[in-house]
Amino acid sequence: MNPIVLVTGGSRGIGAATSKYLAKQGYSVCVNYRSNEVEANNVVTEITENGGTAISVQADVSNEEDVKRLFNTLDQTVGRITHLVNNAGILLPQMPITSMTAERINKVLSTNVTSYFLCCREAIARMANGGSIVNVSSAASRLGSPSEYVDYAASKGAIDTLTTGLSLEVADKNIRVNCVRPGFIYTEMHADGGEANRIERVKQHIPLQRGGTPEEVAASIAFLLSNEAAYITGTFVDIAGGK
């Protein structure tokens, strides 16, 4: 039977590229999205037209009932999950900490952190025969994003710690938990931060002098998920051009 992977936030950007990359490797893919049904269905169509297997499921992964429904739907339509890519995330407009409201901070934390915990919980409950999880963090967890979005950077710091703790907690169940930390990847997320051309502004300070592509992130996620990484857990791959 094909391995079964859930990619949260699979409708756009890194999640869409990862869904397509994994489908080519023979995974049955569940493409989760929050609101962008058309984009999610476009990803599914591209996969199935190339001979792969995919479904799309709407769910706000920061909402516990939605997460339960997402996993139950996957159980009933495709089968038991074997691999999880925790990828869904948001970035809100740049501002200093002194301007941030509790509402904004909680929105970032529930979307970027609570969701990863909930999806890990549901996946692990189904991984009686082992499994593999990749969390998508960010170079921001190391850099801090001062004066731009420290809330976002701190949410990714939490994902790094989740990766370390959970990898140790489930290692004896043969479930591996790893993490990628992209930075400066060409997606629509930068527009949500209020600066669509942010990478062009900062790229002279990136050692490799350019932004990265979603496909370059997908390749590292696919490696960490795969059996080629069977002896790797609790580790981090930085995909940020040397930054």
Q: What are the residue numbers of the active site?
A: 152
Of the two residues 33 and 71, which places its CB atom closer to ligand NAP in the complex? 33
Q: Which of 5, 22, 23, 60 binds ligand NAP (CB under 6 A)?
A: 60
Quote the least distance from Cβ 135 to ligand NAP, whole Å: 9
Does 149 engage in binding with ligand NAP (CB under 6 A)?
A: no
Q: Which of 88, 127, 221, 229 binds ligand NAP (CB under 6 A)?
A: 88
Residue type, 146: P
Does 20 engage in binding with ligand NAP (CB under 6 A)?
A: no
Does 13 engage in binding with ligand NAP (CB under 6 A)?
A: yes
Q: Give residues 193-232 in contact with ligand NAP (rule: CB under 6 A).
A: none
Q: Which of 182, 206, 218, 241 binds ligand NAP (CB under 6 A)?
A: 182
Exposure string of 171-204, with b = 16+ CB inside 10 Å and e = fewer, is eeeebbbbbbbbbbbebebbeebeeeebbeeeee
Q: How many CA atoms lie within 13 A of 106 on its CB side?
A: 4
Residue given tokens 């051309």 in the structure block: 197
Q: Which of 148, 241, 136 is nearest to 198 (CA)?
A: 148
Does 188 engage in binding with ligand NAP (CB under 6 A)?
A: yes
Q: Which of 56, 82, 114, 138 binds ligand NAP (CB under 6 A)?
A: 138
Q: What one-character-per-residue DSSP string does 122-175 give? A: HHHHH-TT-EEEEEE--THHHH--TTT-HHHHHHHHHHHHHHHHHHHHHGGGTE
Selected range binding ligand NAP among 9-17, 97-105, 142-150, 169-177, rule: CB under 6 A: 9-17
> Of all helices (H) and strands (E), which one includes residue 55?
strand 53-58
Of the two residues 176 and 181, which places its CB atom closer to ligand NAP in the complex? 181
**Count of residues binding ligand NAP (CB under 6 A)?**
30
**Token pair belonging to 53:** 């297997």
CB 140 within 8 A of CB 152: yes
How many Cβ atoms sit within 10 Å of the Cβ of residue 137? 28
Pairing of the two strands 236-239 and 175-182: parallel
Selected range binding ligand NAP among 82-90, 96-104, 119-127, 226-234, rule: CB under 6 A: 82-90
Q: Which residues bind ligand NAP (CB under 6 A)?
A: 8-9, 11-15, 32-36, 39, 60-62, 87-90, 111, 136, 138, 182-185, 187-189
